[in-house]
Amino acid sequence: MLNSLAVIVVLSFGLLILTLVVFYIIDITQTKHAVRRNYPVVGRFRYLFEHMGEFLRQYFYAMDREEMPFNRAERAWVYRAAKDVDRTLAFGSTRDLRPLGSIFFVNCAYPTRGEDAVAPSPITIGPYCETPFTTASILNISGMSYGALSRPALQALSRGAAKAGCWLNTGEGGLSSYHLEGGCDIVFQIGTAKFGVRDEQGRLSEERLAGVAAHPQVKMFEIKLSQGAKPGKGGILPGVKVTEEIALIRAISVGEDAISPNRHLEITNAGSLLDMIEQVRRVAGKPVGFKTVIGDTVWLEDLFKLILSRGIESAPDFITIDGAEGGSGAAPQALMDYMGLPIRESLPAVVDLLHGYGLKERIKVIASGKLIVPSGVAWALCMGADFVNSGRGFMFSLGCIQAMQCNKNTCPTGVTTHDPRLQRGLNPILKSERVANYVANMTYDVGTIAHSCGVFEPRQLRRHHARMATSSGRSESLESLYPSEQMGARLFPPGNIDQ
């Protein structure tokens, strides 16, 4: 027995020595990596430490409020909300209240009593459509396609959205059975490659569009012009995630990168954008809008002027504003880090323009961009958003740990991988409850902010209910920083909307 054990130990030690010798020879003779050539074998640990640093910082070294893209405090609130456990804190906030741009909500001396509070008011989108869409949801699931997300993740989101009464955006990857199986409201996104509604030449197929619109769960259509992670570049689904099923849904080849064009070839100006919106709305009979990242606003002014010329019924039924903070999709770092305006600048700019052209009541506004906690959603409502979309907030509710593996097939929680072994850990039934809890607790906490401000429900929040820290050392009301109502009266007096 002891002799056998000794032999095993000697063989193992010998194999280890042989492995180290082989690595030493490889490292000292190769010329590609300077560190490994100068420090053979030992230099290899650099790559391990570099990779493990992403995880070690999250758990051991980073403070509660300093991580990017989401810090521990934000993630912890989502986890608690999704699990429906205690969301209270003790001994004061860890949030630094001094940085420029910090938002404060204005508490009322006589806050709204709980028994006087009401549920969020319903909003009707697409009043000129054959089938308008009316919903009271505040927080909804942003566009994340089947392919970017796994099968169990979509099953959980579909079921959870149905329980919560919010909508689920398909993303640009087409409509799958997993989107439908929960029975939730669905927004179908038409990406630049038109997956799910394209003909053999990649153009919009009215026949296939009508087929998608025939599903009663599909409530609206969103034409994607750009997204926050990569403005100016089309969607990217790495080939390692293109399974046979995904290839069939998208009508592409298995295992090949699915790369969408950087824009719709049919859309070249304001007129062709309105033409495509009208085409989709005519075929589908349901509300149609578009999603975009804001750079400059000149093109929006051209669009709004044309709407006033053609008639108010020609307008998009909604605009989804994606901030440059968006990032659930794989993207080049140059675009993810530097392209587009953040939601804090783009949302008020678009809302102000809509007021200025008298179109705010006609065109609903959906805001998206790292708005995963109640303060962010409440701020967006104050600034004039009608709805808020979140992608990564819902990924956290599914159990995402911010492992930064979304663009690979190695997500450790099963949210963005098609590896059956890793998907096994994501239970769609359990996670659907957490999705629903996240929406319910978000709505409740945003309502709590609203009641503290003295209004009866979240959609009554206005710009005077929040203030922003400025360079003077004092905060200023958002109403004085963004006087949109005065702008609207100055540009287009009420009653002249059709002129």
What is the predicted pLDDT for the residue at 315?
A: 98
Question: Which residues in the chain land under pLDDT 70?
Answer: 1-2, 46-68, 232, 327-331, 484-499
Strands 466-469 and 475-477: antiparallel
Count the neighbouring beta carbons within 10 Å of the beta carbon of residue 424: 10
Structure tokens at 150: 């796994």
Residue 441 near residue 358, CB atoms below 8 Å? no
Domain that holds residue 11: 2-61
Same-domain pairing of 123 and 40: no
Same-domain pairing of 396 and 471: yes
Same-domain pairing of 380 and 467: yes
* Beta-carbon-side half-sphere exposure of residue 493 (alpha carbons within 13 Å): 0
What is the predicted pLDDT for the residue at 494?
A: 43
What is the predicted pLDDT for the residue at 289?
A: 98
Query: Backbone phi, then psi, for 175, in 5-degree steps?
Result: -95, 125
Instruction: Tell me whether residue 103 is in a domain.
Output: no
**pTM for this prediction:** 0.85
What is the predicted pLDDT for the residue at 96?
A: 78
What is the predicted pLDDT for the residue at 330?
A: 66
Same-domain pairing of 48 and 195: no
What is the predicted pLDDT for the residue at 107?
A: 94
Instruction: Tell me whether residue 453 is in a domain.
Output: yes
Close Cβ partners of 182 (under 8 Å, ≥ 6 residues apart): 155, 157, 158, 159, 160, 161, 162, 168, 432
Final residue of a structural domain among 15, 41, 61: 61
Instruction: Tell me whether residue 53 is in a domain.
Output: yes
Query: Backbone phi, then psi, for 178, in 5-degree steps?
Result: -70, -30
Final residue of a structural domain among 25, 42, 61: 61
Same-domain pairing of 56 and 161: no
Instruction: Tell me whether residue 498 is in a domain.
Output: no
d(CA 174, CA 19): 48
CATH of the domain at 195: 3.20.20.70
What is the predicted pLDDT for the residue at 329?
A: 62
Domain total of the chain: 2
Same-domain pairing of 268 and 402: yes
Instruction: Tell me whether residue 277 is in a domain.
Output: yes
Instruction: Tell me whether residue 327 is in a domain.
Output: yes
Same-domain pairing of 401 and 476: yes
Same-domain pairing of 337 and 438: yes
Same-domain pairing of 194 and 268: yes
Same-domain pairing of 127 and 257: yes
Instruction: Tell me whether residue 425 is in a domain.
Output: yes
Strands 236-237 and 475-477: unpaired
d(CA 280, CA 299): 21
Instruction: Tell me whether residue 276 is in a domain.
Output: yes
Final residue of a structural domain among 15, 46, 61: 61
Quick one: 400 exposed, middle or buried, by C-beta within 10 A (0-12, 13-18, 19+)?
buried
Same-domain pairing of 194 and 52: no
What is the predicted pLDDT for the residue at 435?
A: 96
Same-domain pairing of 41 and 174: no
What is the predicted pLDDT for the residue at 86?
A: 85
